[in-house]
Amino acid sequence: MKTENGSARPLPPGATIGILGGGQLGRMLAMAGARLGLKSHVYSDEPDAPAFQVAHAYTLGRYDDEAALKKFSEACDLVTFEFENVPEDTARFLTAHVKVAPGPLALATAQDRLLEKNFVAGLGIATAPFKDVTSAVEARRAFEALGGPCVLKTRRLGYDGKGQQKVASADEAERAFTAMGGLPAILEKFVEFSFEASVVAARGHDGAFAAYDPSQNEHENHILRRSLVPSPLTTQQIAEAESIARSIAEALSYVGVLSVELFVGKNGALIVNEIAPRVHNSGHWTLEACLTSQFEQHMRAVAGWPLGDAARHSDAVMENIIGFDHDEWLNLARRPAGLHLYGKNEARAGRKMGHITRISPRTKS
Amino acid sequence: MKTENGSARPLPPGATIGILGGGQLGRMLAMAGARLGLKSHVYSDEPDAPAFQVAHAYTLGRYDDEAALKKFSEACDLVTFEFENVPEDTARFLTAHVKVAPGPLALATAQDRLLEKNFVAGLGIATAPFKDVTSAVEARRAFEALGGPCVLKTRRLGYDGKGQQKVASADEAERAFTAMGGLPAILEKFVEFSFEASVVAARGHDGAFAAYDPSQNEHENHILRRSLVPSPLTTQQIAEAESIARSIAEALSYVGVLSVELFVGKNGALIVNEIAPRVHNSGHWTLEACLTSQFEQHMRAVAGWPLGDAARHSDAVMENIIGFDHDEWLNLARRPAGLHLYGKNEARAGRKMGHITRISPRTKS
């Protein structure tokens, strides 16, 4: 993809983008690529992966099946990811065989809460106070040092509240560490915030940067329930959020869409909670309210195309359809809203089955 | 699909909609179905049909291959079409094996310009004056009866200006009839109009009806170049256009999206030019400017779902990318606009390769 002078040569229409992961994010990426005439090849270890249904080609294979990965890489002009927990060996193997975006640095950073926190703090961006914890006794000491309620989080493989537990005392911190299997963890001071927000942004091969308006996010049971744009953030806070996303993207030499989850403190300060090196649930509203959705933006960025218009033409409220909410699909289809169902063959409690976005004329710039 | 009391039972998410025809319309139908969790099975006789790239399943087969059609029909919960020129035998064969929407009456009517004109006129809706022509001598007589410039059109298989010729004299009419192979035709009086418009609308199993705002359409070399919404039509003309579409849909017991092309006379009168029993190029702007695109609306209608919101939230200008315009894809991708490329592997003069839609805040209700 790189020309001699280092500039990116865009993949032409008809090129094949490999997508590792076959869930709803991979599905929406594949569909966004198809709008642009790009073909998708989805790789997943799930036989009924939702993204298989819309991909030009797919491979059903384990993430450690090097023969299958090699064949996959040969069928693709470039490979990208729908999730950050790509096994390190898989990422390394693919990188050796095909152009991969975003690059391994972003994956490695986002996969490990300790690396991530140190990386963000190293950019001079605020995070919650935290301590590295590798033993039960360290958990106790970390609690004592931080003081007050904390959250113990495993360093790796956490999402939707999995691998984390709130603790109110040093004893609880110690017990939680043991209960969570003694895995390497961080203890993070619980931050009082007035609301949660996120900024979804893209960076191109050429360093071009485009951020979507930040959303306000509401969680239930640690799962995103709804995202609202515009958020209550002030113009200055929005500029700060974009600047945070930009610093992170640049420091990672990032190519693609990434999202940064933020706590908005009662004093108005923005604190980075988490980086997701991928399209994000809190950016689904862009499908209805922007000319270029986050999915298309990601495909444009990784394919070396110019970034699309990320301006919001409408206000939006995106709501997830979770678990058995899906039984109500016919009633949801009656609403004047953009309905998205992910083609999953079975609803389960807590499983993201779809989302629905209502829009209204833009009220705030 | 019909319950005992005659009401439609909607196909649930996960159901398979068969789409006969694999061009860009089939492709965009398949993608719109996927948004709703519906699977698509595309049937086409072209090995590199663009819609194959995004379909859950596809069949490459001739339209007269009954074994392949039977297998296809068995794999689908319902079959629909992306084009009206489905061979009559194919339509009849499928109807005997699977639920088909829209039904054969709409296809038969739209396939034959004489039936179509008689049908429209029979509803009391204005068309250009016309005469049935089955011989060279009839072509001459028809010209003399109509008086003034005319267009000779074959009754069947015309689109994008194919199978039609403008004639300025009785001699020319006679010669044109012979030059066009002596096929059954109609001679239609050339109508002076101030502009062309179209109305795209949907009717559900339950008789529900929803029309999009009519567009103004500009043609070049008989191929649609661009569509603009809002059009210059007055509120009263818009109501009349919708009422025309509704009358036609009801008279055909139509299920799905259909479009009606109109000439807008210098005196403001609306004259029906043509009915297309399918999604239509002049409705592509709905992808960006409405919550429910014409493609999703069609899938909702045929699947027995409630119709979606057809309101226009933005003004729009849709422009086709034709033939070697496609070479400019990278420059087109730089525009702040919704870009759609159809995944065709070769540009040819006059071939529709994609379209691009720019939107702006809604200016007129």
Is B10's CB within 8 Å of A330's CB?
A: yes
> Residue A291: which of B56, B288, B341 has the nearest Cβ?
B288
> Residue B34: which of A31, A334, A345 has the nearest Cβ?
A31
C-alpha distances out from residue A304 to A50, A102, A208, A264, Å: 26, 12, 11, 34
Compute mean pLDDT per 10 residues along chain A, 365 residues long, and list them. 54 98 98 98 97 97 96 98 90 94 92 95 96 95 95 82 87 94 94 96 97 97 96 98 98 97 96 96 98 98 98 98 97 98 94 97 85
pLDDT at B6 over 60: no
A141 and chain B in contact, CB less than 8 A: no
B255 assigned to some structural domain: yes
Are both A167 and A96 inside the same structural domain?
A: no
Are both A140 and A43 inside the same structural domain?
A: no
Are both A205 and A349 inside the same structural domain?
A: yes
Closest residue in A to B11 (Cα) is A330
> Residue A34: which of B54, B300, B308 has the nearest Cβ?
B54
| A112-131: pLDDT as tens digits | 999 999 999 999 999 999 99
Is B308's CB within 8 Å of A12's CB?
A: no
B110 assigned to some structural domain: no
The single-letter DSSP state of residue B2 is: B
Cα A36 from Cα B122, distance rounded (Å): 44
Q: Which domain holds residue A90?
A: 16-103
B300 and chain A in contact, CB less than 8 A: yes
Cα A255 from Cα A300, distance rounded (Å): 10
In chain B, what residues touch A363 (CB-CB under 8 Å)? none
Alpha-helix residue ranges (DSSP H) falling in A127-234: 136-146, 170-179
B7 assigned to some structural domain: no
Q: How far does chain B reach from its first CA to its final CA, in angstroms? A: 37
The CATH number of residue A167's host domain is: 3.30.1490.20
In chain B, what residues touch A291 (CB-CB under 8 Å)? 288, 336-338, 359
Q: Chain B: nearest CA to A100, how far in angstroms?
A: 22
pLDDT for residue A4: 37
A6 assigned to some structural domain: no
pTM, whole model, 2 decimals? 0.95
Are both B260 and B245 inside the same structural domain?
A: yes
B302: left (phi over 0), alpha (psi -120 to 50) or beta: alpha
The CATH number of residue A95's host domain is: 3.40.50.20
Domain count, chain A: 3
B117 assigned to some structural domain: no
pLDDT for residue B84: 87
Are both A247 and A321 inside the same structural domain?
A: yes
Is A339's CB within 8 Å of B36's CB?
A: yes
Are both B73 and B35 inside the same structural domain?
A: yes
Give the pair of three-digit tokens for residue B191. Answer: 């109508």
Are both A210 and A357 inside the same structural domain?
A: yes
Final residue belonging to a domain, choices A137, A165, A189:
A189
Band (pLDDT 50/70/90 cuts) for residue B159 is low
ipTM: 0.94
Report the relative pairing of strands A314-322 and A223-229 from DSSP bridges: antiparallel
The single-letter DSSP state of residue A85 is: -
Closest-CA residue to B189 (of B233, B124, B133): B133
> Residue A341: which of B30, B36, B339 has the nearest Cβ?
B36
pLDDT for residue B2: 43
Are both B21 and B138 inside the same structural domain?
A: no
The residue among B291, B324, B356, B358 with the most chain A CBs within 10 A of its CB, best to mutate, is: B291
The CATH number of residue A204's host domain is: 3.30.470.20
Q: Chain B: nearest CA to A338, how far in angstroms?
A: 6
| A300-325: pLDDT as tens digits | 999 999 999 999 999 999 999 999 99
B212 and chain A in contact, CB less than 8 A: no
Are both B351 and B224 inside the same structural domain?
A: yes
Structural Rg of chain B based on CA atoms: 20
Final residue belonging to a domain, choices B59, B84, B102:
B102
Is B305's CB within 8 Å of A333's CB?
A: yes
Q: Chain A: nearest CA to B213, how far in angstroms?
A: 17
| Residue A138: exposure state from Cβ atoms within 10 A (0-12, 13-18, ≥19) | middle
B1 assigned to some structural domain: no
pLDDT for residue B163: 81
Are both B160 and B204 inside the same structural domain?
A: no
Are both A278 and A237 inside the same structural domain?
A: yes
A259 assigned to some structural domain: yes
In chain A, what residues touch B345 (CB-CB under 8 Å)? 14
A113 assigned to some structural domain: no
pLDDT for residue B5: 38
| B193-219: pLDDT as tens digits | 999 999 999 999 999 999 999 999 999
Which residues are paired to A60 by β-bridges?
A44
Final residue belonging to a domain, choices B102, B120, B151:
B102
Instruction: For chains A and B, count residue pairs whose Cβ atoms are closer than 8 Å.
Output: 113
Of A181-185, B18-22, B58-62, B317-321, where does mean pLDDT reach its minimum? A181-185
In chain A, what residues touch B313 (CB-CB under 8 Å)? 313-314, 359, 361
Are both B238 and B269 inside the same structural domain?
A: yes
pLDDT for residue A143: 96
B288 and chain A in contact, CB less than 8 A: yes
